[in-house]
Structures are given as structure tokens and as C-alpha cells.
Amino acid sequence: MKRASAQYPFAAIVSIVVASLLCLWGSFESYDLKSTYQQQHSDPYLANQFARFEPLLSAVPERAELGYLTDTRPGSPAGPAMLLSAQYVLAPRLLEKGTQQEWVLGNFTRPADFTALGQSYGLRLQQDFGNGVVLFGKDH
């Protein structure tokens, strides 16, 4: 039994090859664009949250409820991202925006005078863990 083979027009074959090459080129360009963007706009804390908050884990009991203070601009996309990533790493501890709790986590993007900052909220600096992680306590 003789098998029939399909004959495709040369233009169709060339079109498929060109389309495949364009897709391949587009995927490399997309990867390069995203890689460059990530290098220029990376969040230095995003991938390192567990290491950043590790010292705090032993300083605060698991069932603690902490206030939350940050220096991110209100309404910026970084604010909720930092809060949620901190909450994820510190669970089962709860974070609540504000400074009413006995302990307050400071989650900062840049160095500052944390003692003075805490005092402006009626808090005392208990410990600066580095990398923007600070623990404040109520100033009674």
C-alpha cells in the first residue's frame, strides 16, 4: 500500500519558518527586556525576606500582635508588597498597621534615625536588626 504525502506550497512552508523564527526572536527579546528591567528596578528585600526577618522571629513570641510602621509612600505599590511579605514571613504573628500595639515592627527601605522616629510615635527603639528591620516598644 502506497502512502500519500501532502504537498505544501513553498510559500506556506516559508511562512511557517519565518513565523517560527519571529516567535523565537520575540521570546529572547522579551527575556532580555524583563531581565534588564529587574536589574534596574529590583527590590533588594523581595527575595531575602526570610533572612531579613529571621532575627526578629526569636525576639517576638509566635502569638504576638505587632503594629506596623514603614517609610513607603502611601498609595505606592511597594507598601502593600512589603507589608504582605513581612506578614508571610512572620506568621503566625499578626501585623496591623499603626502603632497602638505593645510591639511595633518597623519595616524600612532606607536607613534613618530610628530612635527619633520611634519617639515621634511614642515608641522606644528596642532593637535594630539591620536591613531595615526594627522593633519598637511602647514608651510608657
Indicate whether 2 belongs to any domain. Answer: no
pTM of the model: 0.66
Indicate whether 111 belongs to any domain. Answer: yes
**Predicted local confidence at residue 48, as pLDDT:** 79
**Has residue 4 got a pLDDT over 80?**
no
Same domain, 119 and 52: yes
Indicate whether 1 belongs to any domain. Answer: no
The CA distances from residue 106 to 6, 79, 95, 99, in Å, are: 69, 12, 11, 10
d(CA 69, CA 71): 7
Lowest mean pLDDT among 29-38, 98-107, 126-135: 29-38
Indicate whether 64 belongs to any domain. Answer: yes
Q: Which residues pair with 14 in a beta bridge?
A: none
Q: Which amino acid makes up residue 99?
A: T
Indicate whether 106 belongs to any domain. Answer: yes
**Has residue 32 got a pLDDT over 60?**
yes
> Pairing relation of β-strands 103-107 and 123-130?
unpaired
Same domain, 37 and 66: no
Q: How many domains does the chain have?
A: 2
CB 138 within 8 A of CB 129: no
Enter the C-alpha cell of residue 138: 511602647
Nearest to 132 by CA among 76, 49, 73, 60: 49
Residue 75, sorted as left (phi over 0), alpha (psi -120 to 50) or beta, turns out to be left
21 is in which domain, residue-wise?
10-42
Same domain, 91 and 52: yes
Same domain, 118 and 58: yes
